[in-house]
Amino acid sequence: MDIQFLGTGDAFSHRANTSILVDGKILLDCGLTTVQQLMKAKADLHRISLLSISHFHMDHAFGIPALLSVCKKEGRTRPLVIYGPTGAEQYVKELLAVAHKKGLDVFGFEIKVYDAKNTKADGYSLTFAPMRHALPCNAVSIEKDGKKVTYTGDGKPTEEAKKIMQGSTFS
């Protein structure tokens, strides 16, 4: 797996917000600085098929409106799936209402938002587990071709999170 760190900073760091791009297809968290970092990295936004949000603090999720807007501007037609903690769809809709006074249906491509659930997508297996944090927060393990990466976002690991981390090639 190709793991590209777009940022490793927290909300008020001098570094870009923590965000990771896996194989150019899976984006892990999308804070305020993520779109700029994607552009600096010359990432192909059309290739990103899945966005996993660990939790809904600004340094992990406030970049979603910018990401969707840039994708629209670049003529994206490919669907985008977003996974997040419980209430993800409502959160994304509220974020878009504040940022653009628009909903999910105005970007010109299909956007599906789900509460985190174990799934398979584009040949990857994604497994989610809760973390201890001030807000609901999830870790995610991504597996493909015998490789496994686990991203925990913020917070302290629960026993469930420790289980999905086992066997990670990267974590």
Active centre residues (catalytic): 59
8: CB partners within 8 A, 6+ apart:
15, 16, 18
Tell me how far apart the alpha carbons of residues 158 and 38 are, in angstroms, rounded to a whole number. 31
Residue type, 64: I
CA pseudo-torsion sign 107, 64, 124, 126 = negative
C-alpha to C-alpha distance for 93 and 104, rounded to whole angstroms: 7
Ramachandran region, residue 75 (left: φ > 0; alpha: ψ -120 to 50; beta: rest): left
Q: What angle do CA 170, 60, 141 make, to 5 degrees?
A: 30
Residue 8's φ and ψ, nearest 5 degrees, are: -135, 15
3-class secondary structure, 112? strand
